[in-house]
């Protein structure tokens, strides 16, 4: 226990570099994900002019009639203020969905798609469009 990693400058540097590397990889994965949604949004609507965090915020809070009665909005489970924790109908806490509060999020496209698929079905009774996904993500990344 004497040779503790933290006391070794080389180790410290290595740790810092690894942390930085994983931060950049995550950011790149998020950029790729958004670029994919942007391409899909453009195909669906040639007039597509980019994502909007403001629209994403409105979408996050909007109540829909098409889904399950007990979960009409994203905010039925995620908090209105995305920097705070949410709660599932079964009572389990959900970590904040704002990127600033949960820096590990949105770097795993399979996970993101899995939950969009489930949650959009629950809330809207249909899949979300690429535009809606990109707007919502832009809001969360801006928070």
The contact set with ligand HEC (CB under 6 A) reads 71, 74, 76-78, 88-90, 94-95, 105-106, 111-112, 115-116, 118-120, 122-123, 136
DSSP string for residues in 90-138? T--EE---STTT-TTTT--HHHHHHHHHHHHHHHHSSPPPHHHHHHHHH
Q: CB–CB of 94/86 below 8 Å?
A: yes
CB atoms within 10 A of CB 143: 18
Q: Which of 82, 96, 97, 122 forms a contact with other proteins (CB under 8 A)?
A: 122
Q: How many C-beta neighbours within 10 Å does residue 127 have?
A: 12
Give residues 21-80 in contact with other proteins (rule: CB under 8 A). 68
Which residue is listed with tokens 């969905």?
Answer: 97
CB of 42 to other proteins, least distance (A): 29
- Contact partner at residue 95 from ligand HEC, other proteins, none, CB < 5 to 8 Å by partner kind: ligand HEC
Q: Which does 101 bind (CB under 5 to 8 A by kind): other proteins, ligand HEC, none?
A: none
Q: How many helices (H) and strands (E) does the chain have?
A: 4, 2
Q: Report the nearest approach of other proteins to the CB of residue 118 (Å).
A: 5
User: Residues 74 to 103: which contact other proteins by CB under 8 A?
Assistant: 87-92, 94
Q: Minimum distance from CB of 71 to ligand HEC (Å)?
A: 4
Q: Is 93 helix (H, G, I), strand (E, B) or coil?
A: strand
Give the count of residues interacting with other proteins (CB under 8 A).
12
């Amino acid at each position: 226990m004497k040779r503790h990693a933290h006391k070794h400058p080389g180790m410290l540097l290595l740790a810092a570099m690894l942390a930085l590397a994983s931060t950049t990889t995550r950011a790149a994965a998020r950029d790729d994900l958004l670029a994919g949604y942007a391409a899909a949004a453009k195909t669906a609507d040639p007039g597509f002019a980019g994502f909007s965090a403001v629209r994403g915020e409105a979408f996050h809070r909007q109540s829909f009639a098409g889904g399950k009665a007990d979960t009409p909005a994203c905010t039925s489970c995620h908090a209105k203020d995305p920097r705070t924790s949410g709660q599932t109908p079964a009572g389990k806490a959900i970590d904040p969905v704002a990127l600033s509060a949960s820096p590990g999020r949105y770097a795993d496209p399979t996970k993101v798609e899995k939950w969009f698929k489930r949650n959009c079905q629950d809330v809207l009774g249909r899949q979300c469009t690429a535009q809606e996904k990109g707007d919502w993500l832009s809001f969360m990344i801006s928070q």
